[in-house]
Amino acid sequence: MDDKIVLKAENLEKTFGAGKKAVKAVDGVSFAVREKEIFALLGPNGAGKTTTVKMLLNLVSPDKGSIQIFGEDMPKVQKEVMKEIGTLLEGSRNLYWHMTVRENVYYFANLRGKSAREVKDDMEMWAERLRIQDKLEEEVGKLSRGMQQKAAIICALATKPKLLILDELLLGLDIITRFEVEKLVKELKEISTLIISSHDLRFIEKVSDRILIINKGKVVAEGTASELRHKISYAKYRFTLRKNEESRYLEELKSIRGVEISFYEGNIDTDILELTFEKPELIYDVFDIFRKFSVIPVEIDNLGEPFEEIFKSFVEGGENK
Amino acid sequence: MKYLWEAELRRFVKFIKNMPTANLPFLIFLYILFWLINFSSTLVIGNVESSKSLTAANMLGYVIWFFAMFSISSIAQNMEDERMQGTFEHLHLSSVSIKSIFLVRALIHAIESIVIIVIFILIVGLIHRVVVFTNVYSLLVLLILLPGLYGFAFLLAGLVLMMRSKEAKNWLAILIYVLLVPLLIPERILSPAVREIFSYFPMFQSVMMLRKLNIDKIPLNLMEVDFVKLVITSILFFVIGLLIFDIADKKAKKKGILGMY
């Protein structure tokens, strides 16, 4: 992967209110986003994701910290930098409801220094991809929530931005469109760098190159989905074993430090066993015992942990588990 | 900046397409309001020598009041509406400044306000048999007033931007209506001291100048001091308005209240 840094945020801090009512929304958040990567911001409601995104876009001024986009200090060069950024903001109206989709795309492209002619082809291409081509001449206010979201996505993409910041882009989308957007996001990586935030953990896990988990304004974890999995979850396997005698091997398994039997079902000639390993290499000790007692593993399943559980562990302070 | 005009003109065309049905009731409202003001001023001033010159004087004040309200509407009111909807934040994500966007919008909407006021002047002229603008230099006065009006609108937009409470905003709107009422009062009923104070506000100064030009038939070259005062105060209001808007915008970003949706 190209290591060129597109966006760098250092030690961002933001407190809203003063005195007893003061709320620290963001507390020392730092991260860097590399070129052509999909970087995800993840966190529960009120974690500080949207405030962080708004600070990146200079819609909220940080109390402390610095932001660099394309190597330039924000907000000094904001106007120039905005030509290269496509955005989708959560909760706000991304478009004018009394204008058609086409008019909205042209309007916001114009405000980003692009002519209607420059964005026309791209707009039509994305509209076709998102199956909204027949809605281009309709007023946005008359469209469904999902269609409005699609129109906003087209608006963000039509200017061919080098950096896309998409806050809750799956909001209001149906299942089929979600899959299409998922595919689209992966393809966009070829032409753009993406910062995304979403509550959909499955989506984030599938599309992101790196994930930053924020909770109560602080970074609690950062890494690829598999790195986060390794940090938080123990290796967990289900074995189906063929045995010749009584299950005496179980006593020896229990004696290995760092291996826990979390499930056992014994039959006449087969056992089903679920083992949790503190360290993945402990599996060799287990195989030694299997050999010693002539137990043959006929099936091994890696159980892992659902990403939701990993996320929950981090948010609930499970990083030190 | 190159495409900002294109963007705002396209938006304006869309807006104007929906307007014809709304313009007729608006013109009727404007006339009823004017009739009430004209009638009230006749009651206050009494039987004047020429009711036509009183109507013309009222009309000139009314034109400036209308322009002031239109500027406030296209900058301060428009900004607040967008803020409540959530599109105001998106305008901040442009490669042009937020001030430029609203200034271009206001200039484009000025075309609409001119069309409305010209139709209105013709209607009033026909009904009351008065000619309001007789001196071509009136246009110059109106043109010089424009930065002052926009400065005033930006100043208000800045104040609104710093306010969270809806009540405070409502009170501000009422205050503005009250502050602009003197535009509708013939200045001859005001004391010289009050007139002097008002002359430092471009809206009032321009009304006084328009009345001198069109009713008292005083040529512009005999109003050098008034003219210079209008130019200076108009530019000053414009600069102060933009400065206050800038400060308010920064404060709103600090408080995180750019969007109030």
Q: Compute the nearest-CA separation of B108 from chain A (Å).
A: 15
Do the Cβ atoms of B89 and A82 come within 8 Å?
Answer: no
The residue that leads in pLDDT, A320 or B221, is: B221
Read off the pLDDT band of A76 (50, 70, 90).
confident
User: Which range has highest mean pLDDT (A76-80, A214-218, A235-239)?
Assistant: A214-218
Mutate to test the interface with A, among B93, B249, B250, B257 (most CBs of A within 10 A): B93
What pLDDT shows up at residue A1?
46
Residue given tokens 């991809």 in the structure block: A129
Domain with CATH 3.40.50.300 in chain A: 5-229
The residue that leads in pLDDT, A225 or B49, is: A225
Question: DSSP code of B76?
Answer: I
Do the Cβ atoms of A110 and B261 come within 8 Å?
Answer: no
Half-sphere exposure of A289 (CA within 13 A, CB side): 16
Do the Cβ atoms of B92 and A58 come within 8 Å?
Answer: yes
For residue B133, what are its two tokens? 């603008």
Mean pLDDT of A172-183: 83
Do the Cβ atoms of B10 and A110 come within 8 Å?
Answer: yes
Do residues A223 and A210 lie in contact, with contact meaning Cβ atoms separated by under 8 Å? Answer: yes
Do the Cβ atoms of B90 and A92 come within 8 Å?
Answer: yes
Read off the pLDDT band of B46 (50, 70, 90).
low
Which phi and psi angles does B38 have, rounded to 5°?
Answer: -60, -45
Q: Which residue of A has its CA nearest to B257?
A: A60
Residue B32 lies in a domain: yes
Mean pLDDT of B135-140: 90
Mean pLDDT of A85-99: 84
Q: Compute the nearest-CA separation of A232 from chain B (Å).
A: 35
- How far apart, in Å, are the Cα atoms of B136 and each of A143, A174, B54, B139, B140? 50, 63, 20, 6, 8
B17 is in which domain, residue-wise?
A: 4-255
Residue B260 lies in a domain: no
Q: Which of A54, A57, A107 sits opposite B10 (nearest CB)?
A: A107
Residue B91 lies in a domain: yes
Q: Please report, rounded to a whole number, the percentage of residues in chain B having pLDDT higher than 70.
A: 95
What pLDDT shows up at residue B51?
67
Mutate to test the interface with B, among A51, A74, A101, A107 (most CBs of B within 10 A): A107
- Comparing A287-291, B174-178, B227-231, the range with the smallest average pLDDT is B174-178
Q: Which residue of A has its CA nearest to B252?
A: A60
For residue A59, what are its two tokens? 């819609």
What pLDDT shows up at residue B177?
81
What pLDDT shows up at residue A305?
66
Mean pLDDT of A117-145: 91
Read off the pLDDT band of A318 (50, 70, 90).
very low
For the stretch A254-274, pLDDT in tens is 888 888 888 898 888 889 998
Mean pLDDT taken over chain B: 87
Residue B261 lies in a domain: no
ipTM of the complex in this document: 0.83
CATH number of A234-304: 3.30.70.250
What pLDDT shows up at residue A266?
86
CA angle centred on B203, ends B157 and B213, rounded to 5°: 155
Mean pLDDT of A65-72: 93
Mutate to test the interface with B, among A111, A142, A165 (most CBs of B within 10 A): A111
Q: Which of A59, A112, A115 sits opposite B253 (nearest CB)?
A: A59
For the stretch A286-312, pLDDT in tens is 999 999 888 999 998 877 666 777 777
Q: Which of A79, A98, A103 sits opposite B95 (nearest CB)?
A: A79
Distance (Å, whole) CA B99 – CA B250 = 13
Mean pLDDT of A106-123: 92
What HEC string does B137-164 produce?
A: CHHHHHHHHHHHHHHHHHHHHHHHHHCC
**For residue A75, is the peptide bond before it cis, meaning its omega torsion is within 30 degrees of 0?**
yes
CA angle centred on A313, ends A310 and A315, rounded to 5°: 110
Distance (Å, whole) CA A149 – CA A134 = 15
Do the Cβ atoms of A92 and B95 come within 8 Å?
Answer: no
Q: Compute the nearest-CA separation of A81 from chain B (Å).
A: 8
What pLDDT shows up at residue A317?
67
Domain with CATH 3.30.70.250 in chain A: 234-304
CB proximity list for A126: less than 8 A, separation 6 or greater: A153, A154, A157, A158
Where are the alpha helices (H) located in chain A, listed in sequence order? 49-56, 78-81, 101-111, 116-129, 145-157, 175-188, 201-207, 225-232, 249-254, 283-292, 307-315
Residue A20 has pLDDT above 90, yes or no: no
Q: Which residue of A has its CA nearest to B85?
A: A93
For the stretch B74-105, pLDDT in tens is 899 889 988 888 899 999 999 999 999 999 99
For the stretch B30-41, pLDDT in tens is 889 888 888 887
For residue B104, what are its two tokens? 């271009």
Q: Which of A60, A93, A115 sits opposite B87 (nearest CB)?
A: A93
Q: Please report, rounded to a whole number, the percentage of residues in chain A having pLDDT higher than 70.
A: 94
Nearest to A169 by CA among A48, A30, A41, A310: A41
Q: Which of B11, B94, B253 sits opposite A61 (nearest CB)?
A: B253
Read off the pLDDT band of B20 (50, 70, 90).
low
What pLDDT shows up at residue B5?
83
What pLDDT shows up at residue A5?
92
Residue A319 has pLDDT above 50, yes or no: no
Do the Cβ atoms of B7 and A89 come within 8 Å?
Answer: no
What pLDDT shows up at residue B227?
94
Return the CATH number of A5-229, one of 3.40.50.300, 3.40.228.10, 3.40.47.10, 3.30.60.50. 3.40.50.300
Q: Which of A51, A82, A115 sits opposite B94 (nearest CB)?
A: A82
**Structural domain total, chain B:** 1
Do the Cβ atoms of B14 and A103 come within 8 Å?
Answer: yes
Q: Which of A16, A25, A96 sits opposite B87 (nearest CB)?
A: A96
Read off the pLDDT band of B49 (50, 70, 90).
low
What pLDDT shows up at residue A320?
43
The residue that leads in pLDDT, B261 or B72, is: B72
What pLDDT shows up at residue A92?
57
Tell me which chain A residues have a C-beta less than 8 angstroms from the C-beta of B259. 59, 92
Read off the pLDDT band of A193 (50, 70, 90).
very high
